Amino acid sequence: MFEKVNAGHPDKMADRLAGAVVDLVYERAGGLTKANPRVACEVMAGHGRVDVQIETSLGRLDLRADDLDPLIHRLFGERVEGNVLIAPQDAHLSDNQTRGLRCGDNGIFRGCPPTEEQRVLTAIAATIYGTIPYDGKYIIEQRDGQWDLTVCQSHLSREQEPELRQMLKEAYNVHLPIINPLGPWTGGIDVDCGCTNRKLGSDMGDGVTGGGLMGKDLSKADVSVNIVCFLKAVASGQVVTAICSIGDEDVTFTYADGRRETERFADIVEQARLYILTDCGGSFERFAEWGLIRPLATK
DSSP 115-183: PHHHHHHHHHHHHHHHHS-S-EEEEEEEETTEEEEEEEETT--GGGHHHHHHHHHHHH-B-S-EE-TT-
What average pLDDT is seen over the chain?
A: 92
CATH class of 116-179: alpha beta
Is 116-179 the same fold as 10-95?
Answer: yes
Which residues are within 8 A (CB) of 18 and not within 5 positions of it... i.e. 6 or more apart?
Answer: 41, 42, 43, 52, 196, 214, 215, 284, 288
Domain ranges in the chain?
A: 10-95, 107-114+196-290, 116-179
Alpha carbons 202 and 215: distance in angstroms, whole number? 16
Alpha carbons 282 and 276: distance in angstroms, whole number? 5
Query: Confidence class of residue 106 from pLDDT cuts 50, 70 and 90?
Result: confident
Query: What pLDDT, in 10s, does the model give residues 235-255?
Result: 999 999 999 998 899 999 999
pLDDT at 299 over 60: no
Return the CATH number of the domain spanning residue range 10-95: 3.30.300.10
DSSP 271: H
8 A C-beta contact, residue 244 and residue 107: yes
pLDDT for 298 equals: 37
Claim: this prediction has a pTM higher than 0.85: yes
Which contacts of 127-130 are long-range, i.e. CB under 8 A and separated by 24 or more positions?
Answer: 127/167, 127/171, 128/6, 128/153, 128/164, 129/6, 129/7, 129/8
Alpha carbons 141 and 89: distance in angstroms, whole number? 43
pLDDT for 90 equals: 79
* pLDDT: which is higher, 271 or 59: 271
The DSSP H or E segment spanning 70 is helix 69-76
Alpha carbons 95 and 297: distance in angstroms, whole number? 36
DSSP 215: S
pLDDT for 297 equals: 44
- How would you list the strands of the sheet with 146-153, edge to edge? 2-5, 136-143, 146-153, 178-179
Query: What pLDDT, in 10s, does the model give residues 179-226?
Result: 999 999 998 898 889 999 999 999 999 999 878 999 999 999 999 999
pLDDT for 191 equals: 87
Residue of 63, 28, 65, 55 whose CA lies nearest to 219: 55
**In this structure, are strands 107-111 and 81-88 parallel, antiparallel, or unpaired?**
unpaired
